[in-house]
A and B are shown apart, each in its own frame.
Chain A
């Protein structure tokens, strides 16, 4: 304990003496964020952080922001809302960052949105998909990805176009999957599909057999599951074990991550996943983003990284147009901005709610993700219907 204190004291003394020297150099633009680097959201949180870093590198290579270097100050919120709140207060009031960017997950974003509002700092939230966050009259928060409610819009569309009639919807009982389910059920009803079963399961549930037995008895044409990752894998596997054979089966988060297929192997075939982004999509800057990312992190980016990257670029663009870091000026630009990045389109309504970005549906075919919806972005046709397990 005392060593820690002594080293802290020493570091402070050093900083103190160097202070005057540093003050002469141009102060960098500090962007603060707390990310889930440990805890439940560790994986996507880390990807998001990597996206921020690639963006910072790109901005700095092109001369920085307003002629100043861009520097991210990032902390680990351990996937906890209480910690995240403390950290955003710290970033704004002690580290005195010039701007903040969003954390991972809707829940944590909701809990820190009040803080950025209080201090009037712009908060671009690349990974909050829940509509309710953006409908509370907040002025400084901006959405980048498509909302949860439309995650399975493409799935319902494809089913309706093929004349399918019944759907079962299951979801994890947390913020995002619930919102997703609500949207899916609404769309299904609008397109004339009958919801024969709708049930939620607790977070962390691993045994879906009773649920699947109920589904099998209800015999729906298609099954939609609003999931994260572990549950998506477990449900797919248990569907095989219990011989549940819908004509189409889709999951939300998890279906588009490479590990999904690595874990399930051929059992993952024919599964539809919805994703905010796929590297095969024809957006500008894709190749540059991919090569920069894979060079720095030695693995493929997920959509979390792409969203983080895009969110940071969008913020930078607004700052450039406002020619200032002042929150109100940047905010005005963000409201007007229409931009297409490697991640897709950006445009928001007066609440900061995303209205331009499009979700795509992928399907696993021969171990590869093929974009099957919407038609203008697709690079393959869906394999329909999904054959029963014993005929594969």
Chain B
């Protein structure tokens, strides 16, 4: 049964005691280790901000995500290729990188990750600075790529011949246009 999202609460990791998320298990070692060993230090030093999601029916957090500012710099394109209705030498789009997203193992494939992406889109668009894209270095597994594609992310080389040979990469750059 899908989680009742009306029972979700969000908190910044810095406001939560480490013992509260010590038992979090997503099933992906790198994500679990980051939360328990590194997220606090990364947050303290301004590298990435981590947010924990809680649910009234669960003792430990049900998910977490981490965000950092980013920028998508273009190359090899004409200045007018940005499709802007004015001429400008801008060759980048301001972005936010989703550096981590993990859902409690037993709650996966139940829509919580999609719901959190929706909240993240709202969070990053409701700031006093411009953000056009959300980027993610998605783990190069079919289920992960499939999840991000389902919530509107596009592989950076999805329709390009250069996509061939990417199967060996550990992660794939994907982006989501907040305007679409």
A, B co-complexed: no
Residue numbers of A with Cβ under 8 A of B are none
